[in-house]
Structure 1
Amino acid sequence: MAGSTMNALTKYPHLFAPLDLGFTQLKNRVLMGSMHTGLEDVENAGERMAAFFAERARGGVGMIITGGISPSPAGGRGAKLTNDAEVATHRIVTDAVHAADKDVKIVMQILHSGALAGTPDCVAPSAIKSRIGAFVPNELDGDGVEGQIENFVRCATLAQAAGYDGVEIIGSAGYLISTFLVEKTNQRTDEWGGSWENRMRFAVEIVRRTRAAVGPNFIVVFRISAMDMLQGGLAWDEVVSLGKAIEAAGASIISTHFCWHEAQVPTIATMVPRAAFAGVTGRLRKELGIPLITSNRINMPDVAEAVLAAGDADLVSMARPMLADADLIKKTLEGREDEINTCIACNQACLDHTFTGRMTSCLVNPRACRETELKIEPAATTKRIAVVGAGPAGLAYATTAAQRGHKVTLFDAADEIGGQFNLAKRIPGKEEFVETLRYFRRMIDVYGITLKLGMRVDAASLKAGGFDEVVVATGIAPRRPDIAGIDHPKAVSYVDVITGRATVGQKVAIMGAGGIGFDVAELITHKGVSAAMDISVFAKEWGIDFKNHPRGGVTGVEPVVESSGREVTLLQRKAGAPGKGLGKTTGWTHRLTLQRRGVQMMGGVEYVRIDDEGLHTLVNGEPVLFDVDTVIICAGQLPARDLYDALVAEGVNASLIGGAFEASELDAKRAINQATELAIAA
């Protein structure tokens, strides 16, 4: 272990270097950034947050920043810290973290959501409704502004009393402080509006008065919007002058943020290149004298080390990666990087849950935020278990069951593990999916699972194998709609298109506009290097100007996305605009990208037949012919249950998981979660 640690210190010298803040020291340069998980709002919040954060503290991070805690009732619908009675819950959390590792610092984020608070009582500098806000905010008068500053300061002193090592004051993302900064949301004419000096006064006063209240030996982080990603945002000189003023007001660290929630630029989805925004932090770092944190799509230790080595930051925030793997830093220190369960930035169980009012978790790690419920403990009785199907569900079940001590044999008819993930990884913008397959392949070795690829098993052979249980994770079969001409040469399966076995013509109709339909449309209209793999291509596709940093960071010119030139129409039977069922926080990016490539989208389509002329349909009862060369069938899936039915008939103890259990829409989140829960109970 000592040798592995020494190797890690040599391999990642910047990552594991301590950071001296004068009055205290961070043991390394990695922090778990703030995420609102929903744990803050549950009845037993203290115990559940304690378990969640303590597990990450044991996992090796140097600092943890909690989810946002409101300094006033009008600041948001979730957790708050506004009086002495609320301190006790937070003390449970800080005690647990410090007991897990006395050297880990835990910092509480103070978040006033302002116009995004989701309550009729929401407040802002001016009564200007956010594009994504539920209500027009109530404009603060002069006394109200002063009252909000006092709320921030009181919240910070209460956090100090609760045992936190510091606070982070969030001044970005379209929340209260940032709306004072930006002219289009601050139309005031008093001392809190008008000139830039007046607009930044609210933020500076909060930091100045907070530092005065908590004293010199307390971490104060300010989260600045280094690039708002929307027109009318901060200009670069304003970002710099604000940073300098915040430093002078007493901040210990500045954390850079890169969005307003209403901005139409993706910043943390899987289509965003790794560390895409770190250079902006690096530019600001040259202007300031206190440490800077960078964030967004830094999901592996080599990425973090490269950012630090380039001088782009003093600290890296790895928020969602700590959902995916609480032991990320510990594994790095021990030379086990290949065992890291990497965040693939899918957003499906984290941000999509957060923005729809559900408890946050993680697609690749369903235990995240459920540490008190899903405990992976040694099995009381060791069983011999056969798992048939090495897709996401089968892999999750096999590795969890083997981790508990069961003897697991994993079968798959294919010559590689992965199932539907082997299709997903081929879609431009989803390259990260290979990391999950790498992780599971390594876990097969770590936990001694017997892997048998290229082997199609039947009920008789499994029964003869003497297994105590058989878990069927055989996935799905693409549904072939019962329409005339479905066997016509123009009609091809999405599987054959994604794997390259089918030739796709110039004019294409896609039958089905679910997630697979959108993925296929992305694949066949894509041209050139994937934006997820090239920051310059990404910037061009989303209108970001990293070089000149115009106001808000965006050019204001409609981006042009390179296209293959195919004429593509995406169709669905359901009435309404296609894509409404896609992820809450990423669906709009897919729709917008395809629209910029000229993809036509249509709902309320009834499919009639496919023939030499193309695809015949009825739209609103009227015949419409789509004169196309290729019709790609993305018409849903059917569960592949034949093996399960045969096992039941043979009297074998069998369970059904994943797509074989429910195939209405491919859902790796549900499949992995279901498999993990079943394996924990095995």
Structure 2
Amino acid sequence: MTHYPQLLAPLDLGFVTLPNRVLMGSMHTGLEDRAANYPKLAAYLAERAAGGAGLIVTGGIAPNIAGWVAPFAGKLSARREVPRHRLVTEAVHAAGGRVCMQILHAGRYAYHPLAVAPSPLKSPISPFKPRGLSARGVEAQIRAFARSAALAREAGYDGVEIMGSEGYLINEFIAARTNRRDDAWGGDFERRCRFPIEIVRRVREAVGPDFIIIYRLSALDLVDGGSDWEEVVKLGQAVAAAGATLVNTGIGWHEARIPTIATLVPRGAFSWVTARLRAALPVPVIATNRINTPEVAEGILARGEADMVSMARPFLADAEFVRKAAEGRADEINTCIACNQACLDHTFAGKRSSCLVNPRACHETELVIRPAERPLKVAVVGAGPAGLAAATTAAERGHVVTLFEAAEEIGGQFQMARRIPGKAEFSETLRYFRRRLEVTGVEVRLGEAVTADALAERGFDRVIVATGVVPRTPPIPGIDGPQVLSYIDVLLGRREVGRRVAIIGAGGIGFDVATFLSHPHDGDEPVAEYNSEWGIDPAVRAGVEGVEPRPDGTGREIWLLQRKQGKPGRGLGKTTGWAHRLGLQRRGVHMVPGVTYLGVEPAGLRVRIGDEERLLEVDNIVVCAGQESLRVLAADLESRGVPADVVGGALEAAELDAKRAIDQATRLAAAL
């Protein structure tokens, strides 16, 4: 039996045949930005090549200093920079893979004062106003692309991807929104698109006929003043004629107020865009965005919506994605949950990227899982994210592991997270860990609240305490009233919730509860519902112009309250928090900071907001006021002289942080 026949079919590009239809899409990791990190970058990409990716694209590399995303970011503009890139290409080729270098010129998105753009218009995501390019300056940028591509070939790359989407320099020339020129490089569409066409043509001249050129085309700008569909098709045809081997689909600008890759975006939400593009272009077309399982990818290809699929973050989550799919082990794939917490949030904070569900990502040379020199008898108590990571990593190394969990199922806080609309992907992490427990041979004892005495009697060599957290109850008069619920009551469906609700606490859990209560559940057409909620319409210019978002609601009136001053949700993820806030605003949730809680009364919640005292007449009050570490077992073990390691929420409960918990637990188990 051939698993995923479309996904695993070769793709003949004329001068080279790719072994399958899987592109590991570009994902900036931070390793590209320092020469000293290139051995780590090489190891990271080589693992993905060995894992079966048909073609890999690096993170963005600037063609010159002006094109830097940030000062001293990755660049290839001089021959002296070639050797560091050879480390990457040689490692990937030794692992049996092929790799393209993405040439990315930041344009007005550059986070430095040397930024340039077609017109001197500041972007909303950078504090620096760019310098408008002269005609000679435009020519210099085109030459820089061609030279960078030639150097990439010299460095051993199999091709380049020219980044023409997401609102970077090339995209800025194409869109009337950002190109206010009236010379040969601006004005009507033919002159605005001259820049990308000339880049592709000169890159092809510089690298010859037997070199892959991927052009990343902005197929849906999702901003006013972007390209309409006719212009998208014309440009796609023109870059193909100029020498592009493949066209990769780009969706949305970074400044667009529509989420395109977050968990709340349905799987394969934009494959319809690629399908329309494929019908009009003479070269293979690549689908992208929120493709995270072999089944989704196979379906897109089988329906003829694309010739290839791009997955970036799924390869952070699991380097062996393709190999596992090909071997019929798709249930062992560690699925990307599109949380952005350790990848994009890290990138935009200037940190090295990694992955919440796979902390080894981009740390392959540092976090090494080796066979244990001496197998130990290990107890892990608690089957939340930290306990699951500790147990499976220790067992993978050869330790004999018993996992105790007081509940009747694994998952801990993930059991609640997966119930939030837009966070169903958390179920995939639990599926992965269930399978990992089986594969690694962990003995699982569910429904067993193990005691310190029982652990001591069984003679474990090491005990890892991952007992998690308990909700914190704030000292508010009347907080024990019958209408007061904990977030656990709500998310696990233990109590009915009325039509008028006050939520105490506007951290991550408060936002999750507000989403849960304000969002309709179990829609039959997730992509259509997403398009309606966020105002995406394939029939209009750029997908959004003139389209009014139509978020559905549940009819509840919800108050999301915060004790401290400042915008509620400020601590949410940098790349996803705005979408969560905007979604709640559109569903009419009242988000109120600076609240003093005076007491719970039969008629509702009495508060002071500023200088005004008022009674919020609500049916229920949901407490989301933080958590406290559950460390009773750790204390009991310590009193008996039994050494124990504490990880996850049991160690630190300031914020529920699965990223930190899984990373801590994995590193601990790797060092046992």
Is residue 2:18 matched to residue 1:23?
A: no
Kindly indicate whether the alpha-carbon contact (under 8 Å) linking 1:428 and 1:530 is maintained by their aligned counterparts in 2: no
The one-letter code sitting in structure 2 at the alignment partner of 1:526 is H
Quote how far apart the aligned CAs of 1:622 are. 3.5
Quote how far apart the aligned CAs of 1:653 are. 1.3
Q: Which residue number corresponds to residue 500 of structure 1?
A: 493
Is residue 2:355 matched to residue 1:365?
A: no
Aligned residue among 525, 528, 552 for 1:536: 528
Is residue 2:366 matched to residue 1:355?
A: no
Quote how far apart the aligned CAs of 1:222 are. 0.4
Q: 1:90-489 counterparts in 2 under 5 A?
A: 90-101=85-96, 104-489=97-482
Cα root mean square deviation, aligned? 1.0
Quote how far apart the aligned CAs of 1:195 are. 1.0
* CA–CA separation in structure 1 for the residues paired with 2:523 and 2:336: 19
The one-letter code sitting in structure 1 at the alignment partner of 2:387 is G
Kindly indicate whether the alpha-carbon contact (under 8 Å) linking 1:45 and 1:89 is maintained by their aligned counterparts in 2: no
Kindly indicate whether the alpha-carbon contact (under 8 Å) linking 1:116 and 1:134 is maintained by their aligned counterparts in 2: no
Kindly indicate whether the alpha-carbon contact (under 8 Å) linking 1:83 and 1:158 is maintained by their aligned counterparts in 2: yes
Kindly indicate whether the alpha-carbon contact (under 8 Å) linking 2:537 and 2:547 is maintained by their aligned counterparts in 1: no
Q: Please list the CA deviations of residues 632-676 of structure 1 after superposition, one character each: whole Å capped at 9, or x if unmatched.
A: 000000000010011011111101000100111111001001101
Structure 2 residues not aligned, in runs of 5+: none
Is residue 2:660 matched to residue 1:665?
A: no
Q: Please list the CA deviations of residues 299-348 of structure 1 after superposition, one character each: whole Å capped at 9, or x if unmatched.
A: 11111111011111111001100000000100111111110000011111
Is residue 2:559 matched to residue 1:569?
A: yes
The one-letter code sitting in structure 1 at the alignment partner of 2:39 is E
* CA–CA separation in structure 1 for the residues paired with 2:563 and 2:328: 51
The one-letter code sitting in structure 2 at the alignment partner of 1:48 is K
* CA–CA separation in structure 2 for the residues paired with 1:107 and 1:43: 18
How many residue pairs align between the two structures?
A: 669
The one-letter code sitting in structure 2 at the alignment partner of 1:671 is A
* CA–CA separation in structure 1 for the residues paired with 2:612 and 2:228: 52
For residue 66 of structure 1, give the secondary structure of its aligned residue in structure 2: strand
Quote how far apart the aligned CAs of 1:529 are. 3.5
Q: Which residue number corresponds to residue 26 of structure 2?
A: 34
* CA–CA separation in structure 2 for the residues paired with 1:56 and 1:493: 43
Quote how far apart the aligned CAs of 1:155 are. 0.2
* CA–CA separation in structure 2 for the residues paired with 1:28 and 1:241: 28
Q: Please list the CA deviations of residues 444-493 of structure 1 after superposition, one character each: whole Å capped at 9, or x if unmatched.
A: 01010000000001111111110001100000000001111011112111
Q: Which residue number corresponds to residue 639 of structure 1?
A: 629
The one-letter code sitting in structure 2 at the alignment partner of 1:314 is D
Q: 1:528 to 1:478 in 2, by over 3 A?
A: closer
* CA–CA separation in structure 2 for the residues paired with 1:182 and 1:133: 19
Q: Which residue number corresponds to residue 680 of structure 1?
A: 670
* CA–CA separation in structure 2 for the residues paired with 1:245 and 1:43: 36
Aligned residue among 34, 40, 49 for 1:48: 40
For residue 463 of structure 2, give the secondary structure of its aligned residue in structure 1: strand
Aligned residue among 29, 41, 59 for 1:67: 59
Q: Which residue number corresponds to residue 624 of structure 1?
A: 614
Quote how far apart the aligned CAs of 1:552 are. 1.0
Kindly indicate whether the alpha-carbon contact (under 8 Å) linking 1:131 and 1:262 is maintained by their aligned counterparts in 2: yes
The one-letter code sitting in structure 1 at the alignment partner of 2:88 is V
The one-letter code sitting in structure 2 at the alignment partner of 1:153 is A
Q: Please list the CA deviations of residues 358-391 of structure 1 after superposition, one character each: whole Å capped at 9, or x if unmatched.
A: 1100000000000010000011111000000000
* CA–CA separation in structure 1 for the residues paired with 2:335 and 2:455: 33
Is residue 2:8 matched to residue 1:13?
A: no
* CA–CA separation in structure 1 for the residues paired with 2:389 and 2:398: 15
For residue 153 of structure 2, give the secondary structure of its aligned residue in structure 1: helix
Is residue 2:576 matched to residue 1:586?
A: yes
Structure 1 residues not aligned, in runs of 5+: 1-6
Q: Please list the CA deviations of residues 477-511 of structure 1 after superposition, one character each: whole Å capped at 9, or x if unmatched.
A: 00001111011112111100111111211111100
Quote how far apart the aligned CAs of 1:621 are. 4.3
* CA–CA separation in structure 1 for the residues paired with 2:549 and 2:278: 29
Is residue 2:65 matched to residue 1:89?
A: no
* CA–CA separation in structure 1 for the residues paired with 2:267 and 2:153: 35
Q: Please list the CA deviations of residues 276-316 of structure 1 after superposition, one character each: whole Å capped at 9, or x if unmatched.
A: 10111111111111111111111111111110111111110
Aligned residue among 581, 587, 594 for 1:597: 587
For residue 109 of structure 1, give the secondary structure of its aligned residue in structure 2: strand
For residue 665 of structure 2, give the secondary structure of its aligned residue in structure 1: helix
Q: Which residue number corresponds to residue 3 of structure 1?
A: none
What TM-score comes out, normalization by structure 2 length? 0.99
Q: Which residue number corresponds to residue 519 of structure 1?
A: 512
* CA–CA separation in structure 2 for the residues paired with 1:334 and 1:529: 33
* CA–CA separation in structure 1 for the residues paired with 2:501 and 2:470: 23
Q: Please list the CA deviations of residues 175-220 of structure 1 after superposition, one character each: whole Å capped at 9, or x if unmatched.
A: 0000000012000010000011100000000000110111101001
Kindly indicate whether the alpha-carbon contact (under 8 Å) linking 2:35 and 2:84 is maintained by their aligned counterparts in 1: no
Kindly indicate whether the alpha-carbon contact (under 8 Å) linking 1:472 and 1:657 is maintained by their aligned counterparts in 2: yes
Kindly indicate whether the alpha-carbon contact (under 8 Å) linking 2:536 and 2:547 is maintained by their aligned counterparts in 1: no
Kindly indicate whether the alpha-carbon contact (under 8 Å) linking 1:232 and 1:552 is maintained by their aligned counterparts in 2: yes
Quote how far apart the aligned CAs of 1:45 are. 2.2
* CA–CA separation in structure 2 for the residues paired with 1:125 and 1:179: 7
* CA–CA separation in structure 2 for the residues paired with 1:581 and 1:43: 33
Q: 1:38 to 1:306 in 2, by over 3 A?
A: same
The alignment-based identity, stated in percent, is 59
What TM-score comes out, normalization by structure 1 length? 0.97
Q: Which residue number corresponds to residue 605 of structure 2?
A: 615
Quote how far apart the aligned CAs of 1:626 are. 1.2
The one-letter code sitting in structure 1 at the alignment partner of 2:46 is A
Q: Which residue number corresponds to residue 653 of structure 1?
A: 643
Kindly indicate whether the alpha-carbon contact (under 8 Å) linking 2:360 and 2:367 is maintained by their aligned counterparts in 1: yes
Quote how far apart the aligned CAs of 1:624 are. 2.4
Q: Please list the CA deviations of residues 534-562 of structure 1 after superposition, one character each: whole Å capped at 9, or x if unmatched.
A: 1100100000113x2x1111153331211
* CA–CA separation in structure 2 for the residues paired with 1:22 and 1:614: 71
Quote how far apart the aligned CAs of 1:679 are. 0.7
Kindly indicate whether the alpha-carbon contact (under 8 Å) linking 2:223 and 2:545 is maintained by their aligned counterparts in 1: no
* CA–CA separation in structure 1 for the residues paired with 2:432 and 2:548: 39
Kindly indicate whether the alpha-carbon contact (under 8 Å) linking 2:222 and 2:542 is maintained by their aligned counterparts in 1: yes
* CA–CA separation in structure 2 for the residues paired with 1:527 and 1:562: 7
Quote how far apart the aligned CAs of 1:612 are. 0.9
The one-letter code sitting in structure 1 at the alignment partner of 2:75 is K
Quote how far apart the aligned CAs of 1:528 are. 4.5
Q: Please list the CA deviations of residues 55-77 of structure 1 after superposition, one character each: whole Å capped at 9, or x if unmatched.
A: 00000011000000000101112
* CA–CA separation in structure 2 for the residues paired with 1:523 and 1:288: 42
